[in-house]
Amino acid sequence: IVKDILGKKLYYVHYIDFNKRLDEWVTPDRLDIKKLQFPKKEAKTPMKDGLPGSRPSSPERDVTASATSRGKTLPTPVQMIPAHSFLPINLHRHSHVLMFHIILADSTLLSQDSQDSSDGIPSAPRMTGSLVSDRSHDDIVTRMKNIDCIELGRHRLKPWYFSPYPQELTSLLILYLCEFCLKYLKSLKCLQRHLTKCNLRHPPGNEIYRKGTISFFEIDGRKNKAYSQNLCLLAKCFLDHKTLYYDTDPFLFYVMTEYDSKGFHIVGYFSKEKESTEDYNVACILTLPPYQRRGYGKLLIEFSYELSKVEGKTGTPEKPLSDLGLLSYRSYWSQTILEILMDLKSENGERPQITINEISEITSVKKEDVISTLQYLNLINYYKGQYILTLSEDIVEGHERAMQKRHLRIDPKCLHFTPKDWSKRGKW
């Protein structure tokens, strides 16, 4: 793919077997033209089951498409234990290994192959909402990043993926965004003119949490439609596994900000369905690149579960998660569950006991996610006729080191949130 900007030719490059966020437009001097192979005209793909085959695409898309077409999700290395099995856990301390004894109600459940729910991933993606898992629009246009640079406040961001900003803005060297209302503008002069009229110094909506310089704002996708749509456009630049739609009415958006003398600056956000039949407590979640690897991602995740605790529900993020999203969630789940297990204390000289159900109730993490995390950490073992959960010194020490680095935490006392019953409302 070639494009012309200010009389200069740029070539679009995708690196095979690497994530699309590493794609880039390059100048001719970075290409070895001698080794260039021009694509041959593809023959039409044969009919399959009475339907024409799709055009060639990346290996990643082929795998996803083939799995979806069979109505199954991709297998994961861990085998799920059915959520309805309640596992009483007894704590038994040894000098070198901490052992949590798990007694299953029916040990034959472990041998069942639960492929229908791999890591809690539903077999079919949801097809409604502001950002949904829908690859039907995955064509040559949406597979190329179209915005070169975004200026948001004091930061300049290099987008990772395609986002459907208006076509006339894609040829700009820099796309300017108002960091408070997220309106997009084509030049610095337009932005300066806009800032004289824009009265916002924080996201619209209600501030429901503040501690130090960190605040969270709850934004109704129906009442603040323009802001919500602009937020989705910005988020799409960094989320590849979602497709953008403009129906934001059924969603709430929770925007995390950092405060200084100039106002409340957006750090990240997550969206959430007002009514979820699947127990989702997060639809999309994103920490903006300038704030990544600083603990803000876990803070967003922790906040989503604090809301679930207030609502008296267990929750899970909508699947599929992005590669970075899955890493963040697995890390959060691991730290949260290990924190509970290590805080167990014996009473009357007996071994402490806890069940999977109790862990889920304490943390608001869905049972499937608790079990998959235990298996991901490789803690479940079979020992002397029963299933036990072993916590080695390495895991304990690794957890303590990780918790020492985790300075940002949600303080439930600073949360001022009253859940609404959206099912009783005729209109959102």
Distance CA 362, CA 314 (A): 9
**Annotated catalytic residue within 275, 318, 339, 361:** 318
| Residue 40, burial from CB neighbour count under 10 angstroms (0-12, 13-18, 19+) | exposed
> Has 258 been annotated as catalytic?
no
Distance CA 101, CA 89 (A): 5
Give whole-number Cα distances, 346 to 146, 321, 351, 386, 391, in Å: 59, 38, 5, 21, 16
Bridge partners of 26? 11
- The alpha-helical segments, DSSP class H, found in 70-116 are none
CA–chain centroid gap for 110, Å, is: 29
DSSP 393-416: HHHHHHHHHHHHH------GGGB-
Distance CA 358, CA 134 (A): 35
DSSP symbol at 111: G
| Residue 151, burial from CB neighbour count under 10 angstroms (0-12, 13-18, 19+) | middle
337-358: burial string, b at 16+ Cβ within 10 Å, e else: bbeebeebeeeeeeebbbbbbb
Residues designated catalytic: 318
